[in-house]
Amino acid sequence: MLAQVGKTFHLGVAAQARLFPASFGGLVAGVLICGYVSDWIGKKIVLLVSMGLFITGAILFSMAQSFNGILLSSAIIGAGSGSMQSVSNALLSNMFPVRSSQVLMVMQVMYGLGCIGGPITMTALIAHGVGWRQLYVGLAVCGGLLFLLQALQKVPEPAKNGAKRKLLLPWESLPMTLLCLGGFFCSGAEVGFWGMIGNYIHSATSLTVTGLAIALFWVGMTAGRLVTSFLVQKISLSKLLTALSLATALFMFIASRLSSEITILAAVLLAGFALSGTFGILLSLGVKFFAQEAGAAIGMVTALACAGSGVTPWLEGVLKISSGWHIALLVPPVCALLLAVSGVMLQRQKQPVVQ
């Protein structure tokens, strides 16, 4: 779709790439602001506002007559989509406090399925002659239907317990700091690995194996989230986070040091499987530690995760130029090891008892 937009406005690849920081900036702003606000005025109304932002952005995108209009609407779409993700997580965690970890993990599975199905559907429609403007009109229509369904849905807000809700900041307590750092390292490991391992495999093997490796990574991510949704009810969250992070580091390191196609593919699959549940566990821990500020906690962790997904590929690119693939591909397993350290330190923090 990006190529179609670029062709419409006669833009090169460098100019087209400006869409990513526009959407990214809107997403970070959305998850931070809406996460905080949802704790104060209610999550359902903020979720509806987020949906409205997404719908508005999609309509503006489809009608844009200049690339500046595309950039603005991309930022609005980013803000709406990011806010929907963080606020819906917080809303469900409040609705199911006892099973919040399992519910959040199931949500991660649904996000993964959307990430797989969305591009496939869009590519198929484009191949059949549907233009990018029509696609965004379709997204707006789908968003409108979801908006109506959500507006009609009765959503109970958690009972007020008289505790004063505070402005949650990432540095005000050690658990919040560790969760934010965990989000940074988790997303850094994920994006840094699948974003670069394909290029490495292509240089070492073939293009066919490269495509298969990336597909297997996401198969592992989806299957791992399903398995983790059961494990979170049986194992301490912080201990599970530590174990999965260590396994992720091991398999990522192995994948970047092997030359056999079969063993590389196996290591990539296992790395995705191990990493898959870590972000959902971080969100669950945020809810456990900060039940009254769940929206802000989830929003803050998500925002730091976005930062990690931007910094890690840049660092890998710098190291690839200066030191080669083997050094650059140490970044994802190191991020996974640092995530494991966060998990160990979180084990030592006392969690409030869920009433």
For the residues of 13-54, what is the DSSP string, one character each?
HHHHTTHHHHHHHHHHHHHHHHHHHHHHH-HHHHHHHHHHHH
What is the structure's pLDDT at 5? 77
What is the tens place of the pLDDT at every residue in 75-84?
999 899 888 8
- Domain assignment present for 301: yes
- Domain assignment present for 355: no
Are residues 173 and 279 in contact, defined by beta-carbon separation less than 8 angstroms? Answer: no
- Domain assignment present for 37: yes
**How many distinct helices (H) and strands (E) make up the chain?**
15, 0
Asked whether residue 181 falls in the same domain as residue 321, the answer is: yes
- Domain assignment present for 127: yes
Asked whether residue 138 falls in the same domain as residue 261, the answer is: no
Considering Cα of 24, then 30, then 31, then 33, what sign does the dihedral take?
positive
Q: Structural domain of residue 25, as residue ranges?
A: 2-152
- Domain assignment present for 167: no
What is the structure's pLDDT at 265? 86
- Domain assignment present for 186: yes
Cα distance between residue 53 and residue 77, in whole Å = 7
If we measure between CA atoms, which residue out of 330, 89, 304 comes closest to residue 186? 304
- Give the residue with greater pLDDT, 40 vs 187: 187
- Across residues 105-117, what is the average pLDDT? 78
Residue with tokens 């969100």: 283
Cα distance between residue 237 and residue 351, in whole Å = 11
- Domain assignment present for 354: no
279-298 burial by CB neighbour count: b if 16+ within 10 A, else e?
bbbbbbbbbbbbbbbbbbbb
pLDDT above 60 for 33? yes
DSSP string, 322-341: HH-HHHHTTHHHHHHHHHHH
Amino acid identity, position 328: A
Are residues 45 and 157 in contact, defined by beta-carbon separation less than 8 angstroms? Answer: no
pLDDT above 60 for 163? no
Asked whether residue 142 falls in the same domain as residue 282, the answer is: no
From 95, 122, 152, give the residue that closes a domain: 152
- Across residues 133-147, what is the average pLDDT? 93
If we measure between CA atoms, which residue out of 32, 267, 43 comes closest to residue 169? 32
What is the tens place of the pLDDT at every residue in 262-275?
888 899 999 999 99
Asked whether residue 143 falls in the same domain as residue 206, the answer is: no
Asked whether residue 148 falls in the same domain as residue 284, the answer is: no
First to last CA, the chain: 48
Q: What percent of the chain has pLDDT over 90?
A: 32
Cα distance between residue 105 and residue 173, in whole Å = 25
From 120, 152, 184, give the residue that closes a domain: 152
Asked whether residue 64 falls in the same domain as residue 183, the answer is: no
DSSP letter at 116 equals: H
What is the structure's pLDDT at 168? 62
42 sits in the region (left: phi over 0; alpha: psi -120 to 50; else beta) called: left
CATH number of 120's domain = 1.20.1250.20
Are residues 42 and 157 in contact, defined by beta-carbon separation less than 8 angstroms? Answer: yes
From 117, 152, 187, give the residue that closes a domain: 152
Residue 324's φ and ψ, nearest 5 degrees, are: 100, 175
What is the tens place of the pLDDT at every residue in 202-258?
666 554 566 677 778 888 888 898 899 889 888 899 999 999 999 999 999 998 887
How many structural domains does the chain have? 2
What is the structure's pLDDT at 100? 79
Asked whether residue 303 falls in the same domain as residue 336, the answer is: yes
Asked whether residue 240 falls in the same domain as residue 280, the answer is: yes
pTM of the model: 0.79
Are residues 186 and 279 in contact, defined by beta-carbon separation less than 8 angstroms? Answer: yes
Cα distance between residue 193 and residue 185, in whole Å = 12
Tokens of 252: 């990522």
Asked whether residue 202 falls in the same domain as residue 322, the answer is: yes
Asked whether residue 129 falls in the same domain as residue 268, the answer is: no
Amino acid identity, position 138: G
- Domain assignment present for 352: no
Asked whether residue 219 falls in the same domain as residue 330, the answer is: yes
Asked whether residue 320 falls in the same domain as residue 182, the answer is: yes
Q: What percent of the chain has pLDDT over 70?
A: 87
What is the structure's pLDDT at 184? 95
